[in-house]
Structure 1
Amino acid sequence: MSDAKNIADFYQLIYEKQVEVQEMPSNKKISAWAIRIVDLLFPERNSSELNSVEEIKTAFINQEKELVLLLNKTKACDVCNTAEVAAIFFQSLPALYQTMLTDAQAILEGDPAAKSIREVVRTYPGFFAISIFRLANLLHTLGIPIIPRILTEHAHSKTGIDIHPGATIGQYLHIDHGTGIVIGETCEIGDHVKLYQGVTLGALSVDKLLANTKRHPTIEDHSIIYAGATILGGATVVGHHSIVGGNVWLTSSIEPYTTVYHQSNTKFIDSKPLI
């Protein structure tokens, strides 16, 4: 087969792929849909142009219609009714909003630098990442593929906080600073948990054969995980009211009310001031 034939077949292949995805909405459009919902729920994030209850109602109805279009164009449902899925999603928003409020409250109460809920909602990357996760997780629980990952990866790109939409996370999650946090697909996090930057809640093994098993740790209520800590394994449980110190490497369970810390080998050497 000639090189000309090979390149012609290659161009044909790429063309067929182009035709296949022409109706597919961009990641940017999908992310914009979710951000619009967060902005509707928390108008303090941006200046609001809505001046009546009817306008707010119309805005949510429009977002529901947009979700139906996104579901159809991404072929998210082979057998499900996309309008029904969208309706369930938006009927669940009031309860989800209350959960998001607990996240904002946890950050306000847990960070001495935070002065108000408005400041948390408007400026904290942790709150943004959690909010996008909450929306993505709801879609994930409704059996929607692709879109939840697009949403959490958008938040990841903006904040450095990587939360898989399949994770199970309770109320009052406080992510402080946040950059470099990784929360795996089968991770379970209870209520009133605080995570600092650089925390990894990951798998002990990435073998594909473990795809349908619990691979990531469980963090029980009222636990604090400090910066740089790595906690691995589906059987690993951090008991409630525990503290895991910075840079700790943990692959086995700890009992409730336990404090684990990393012992530093740092040496201090006296030196004369430079002249």
Structure 2
Amino acid sequence: MEEFYKHIFERQRQAHDMPSNVRIWEWARDVFRLLFPERNAKKLLTLDALKASFKLLENELYDLLSKSKDCAACDHTWVVSNFFSKLPDLYDLMMDDATAILEGDPAARNISEVIRTYPGFLASCMFRMANQLWLDNVPLIPRILTEYAHERTGIDIHPVATIGRYLHIDHGTGLVIGETAIIGDHVKLYQGVTLGALSVDKVLAGKRRHPIIEDYVIIYAGATILGGETVIGHHSIIGGNVWLTRSVEPYTTVFHRPNTEFVHGKSIE
């Protein structure tokens, strides 16, 4: 046991000093709650109180960055300023996602219900914030945010993915969107969908491995679409449990039958 203790102690000494994952998540959660008071029991009664709350969150982000060795090379002041200057645009993206859910789900009664209860909305909002931090060249923290959202919702979106406006995640449990995936506008994804890679060989790091999903595509539950050269054309419908490793043209319907896939009723090898 003594050697084991020494090994763990050495790892403790070498570990990068960084705020806890919980503290990082709580910062993002507090930004989310401030943007969407439906998720916050504490209501702010004056504009000055709102501005002061945003300022506290700016200070908190600066503190998170400055206490992380992984972020030592970041321009902390610039990152904080840029992130919060982009917050109105991020809010618009988030509201577009909420609108897509409201308009696309017959069970959704109003926008407040979507904001307060839908896991797909929470996951997409955390992705939007994490992606902006990644665009600002912040390491590790974006991944922490999307993994916490994954833990809470079962929806796994890599923060580096490219996702357009009006994303509708319906149910969402088991959904996976890989690092180099590109998703257009007005895309609807159901539970268990995987936008993944054909290979997980480490030599492919940094290369396109995940599919492109064009505008107005619907992908139903359990569908798996793989490969960096796979493009799903706009206005296509991919049925449940379909397995695709090749591109399909716009306005295509693909559906599953045992041991084969069908496009417009014709089998494809």
Pick the TM interval, shorter chain: over 0.9
Distance in 2 (alpha carbons) for counterparts of 1:261 and 1:227: 11
Distance in 2 (alpha carbons) for counterparts of 1:83 and 1:13: 37
Residues 1:108 and 2:102 aligned together: yes
Instruction: Single out whichever of 68-77 and 137-146 deviates more from structure 2.
Output: 68-77
* Residue deviations 1:57-114 (CA, integer Å, cap 9, x gap): 1111111111111112222333331121111111110001000000000000000000
- Report the CA distance between 1:263 and its aligned residue: 1.4
Residues 1:255 and 2:249 aligned together: yes
Give ranges in structure 1 of 5+ residues lacking alignment: 1-6, 266-275
Question: TM-score of the superposition, structure 1-length normalised?
Answer: 0.90
Distance in 2 (alpha carbons) for counterparts of 1:102 and 1:72: 33
Residues 1:206 and 2:206 aligned together: no
Which residue in the other structure is 1:240 paired with? 234
Which residue in the other structure is 2:165 paired with? 171
Which residue in the other structure is 2:147 paired with? 153
- Report the CA distance between 1:260 and its aligned residue: 0.3
Which residue in the other structure is 1:135 paired with? 129
SS in 2 for 1:231: strand
Which residue in the other structure is 2:77 paired with? 83
Residues 1:27 and 2:21 aligned together: yes
Distance in 2 (alpha carbons) for counterparts of 1:234 and 1:208: 15
Distance in 2 (alpha carbons) for counterparts of 1:107 and 1:27: 29
One-letter code aligned to 1:166: V
Distance 1:105 1:251, change over 3 A: same
Superposed counterparts of 1:215-226, under 5 Å: 215-226=209-220
Distance in 2 (alpha carbons) for counterparts of 1:234 and 1:21: 35
What is the aligned counterpart of 2:36 among 42, 50, 58?
42
Distance in 1 (alpha carbons) for counterparts of 2:185 and 2:159: 17
Q: Please tell me whether the aligned partners of residues 66 and 72 of structure 2 are also in contact (alpha carbons under 8 angstroms).
A: no
Distance in 2 (alpha carbons) for counterparts of 1:43 and 1:21: 37
One-letter code aligned to 2:25: S
Which residue in the other structure is 1:271 paired with? none
Distance in 2 (alpha carbons) for counterparts of 1:234 and 1:215: 4
What is the aligned counterpart of 1:58 among 44, 52, 66?
52
SS in 2 for 1:216: coil
Which residue in the other structure is 2:113 paired with? 119
SS in 1 for 2:225: strand
Instruction: Single out whichever of 65-74 and 228-237 deviates more from structure 2.
Output: 65-74
Give ranges in structure 2 of 5+ residues lacking alignment: 260-269
SS in 2 for 1:165: coil
SS in 1 for 2:179: coil
Pairs aligned (count): 259
Q: Please tell me whether the aligned partners of residues 17 and 69 of structure 2 are also in contact (alpha carbons under 8 angstroms).
A: no
Which residue in the other structure is 1:186 paired with? 180
Instruction: Single out whichever of 167-176 and 78-87 deviates more from structure 2.
Output: 78-87
Distance in 2 (alpha carbons) for counterparts of 1:49 and 1:122: 15
SS in 1 for 2:257: coil
For the aligned residue pairs, the C-alpha RMSD in angstroms reads 1.5
Q: Please identify the structure whose Cα radius of gyration is greater.
A: 1
State percent identity of aligned pairs. Answer: 63
Which residue in the other structure is 1:231 paired with? 225
Q: Please tell me whether the aligned partners of residues 149 and 156 of structure 2 are also in contact (alpha carbons under 8 angstroms).
A: yes
* Residue deviations 1:202-245 (CA, integer Å, cap 9, x gap): 00010111111110000000000000000000000000000000
